[in-house]
Amino acid sequence: MSLVQLIYTSHPFGFDAATLSGILWRARINNARDDVTGALIARADIYLQLLEGPEPAVMRTWSKIRQDDRHVEVTRKVLRPITTRMFPYWTMHDDPAISWLWNQDEVADGAADSATEDQFLAIFARVRETAMAGSS
């Protein structure tokens, strides 16, 4: 079965710690069941998520995300075939990206809209490196 990687951005609607906890809890259960892995960068001003796994499962997850009323302006940024997962050990890694991702003004000015596929992939490569260092 072919693997794909999908990255999207959105803006939270009603973001708080309880909402994020619920999103992560449900994602981890569903993703374990569906063989989907990935990472979520979540702040009050942006969601940036990478999903990877079998194409049908990732596309079903993507469809559910687009209908989820906890965020708005859901926009796919990357969809590509892959042979190796970036986050093979995480059903959904959580990264707050408070200090190193775009600041709130940059997000408001459209940084996510103008970022390239390579820039999105580099962001998640950094998240992966941080996660790997933290699990050692």
| pLDDT 10s digits, 31-53 | 999 999 999 988 888 899 999 99
Instruction: Using the predicted structure, report yes or no on whether residue 79 has a pLDDT greater than 90.
Output: yes
The CA–CA distances, whole Å, from 26 to 1, 20, 31, 38, 80 equal 25, 10, 8, 14, 25
Both tokens of residue 62? 């993507």
* Rounded Cα gap, residues 132 and 93, in angstroms: 11
First CA to last CA across the chain, in angstroms? 31
Each domain of the chain, given as residue ranges in start order, spans: 3-135
Lowest mean pLDDT among 41-45, 49-53, 57-61, 72-76: 41-45
Q: Is residue 104 predicted with pLDDT exceeding 90? A: no
Structure tokens given for 70: 């906890």
- List beta partners, residue 51: 6, 38
Closest Cα partner for 40 from 49, 27, 31? 49
Q: Is the domain defined by 3-135 classed in CATH 3.30.70.100?
A: yes
Amino acid at 40: L
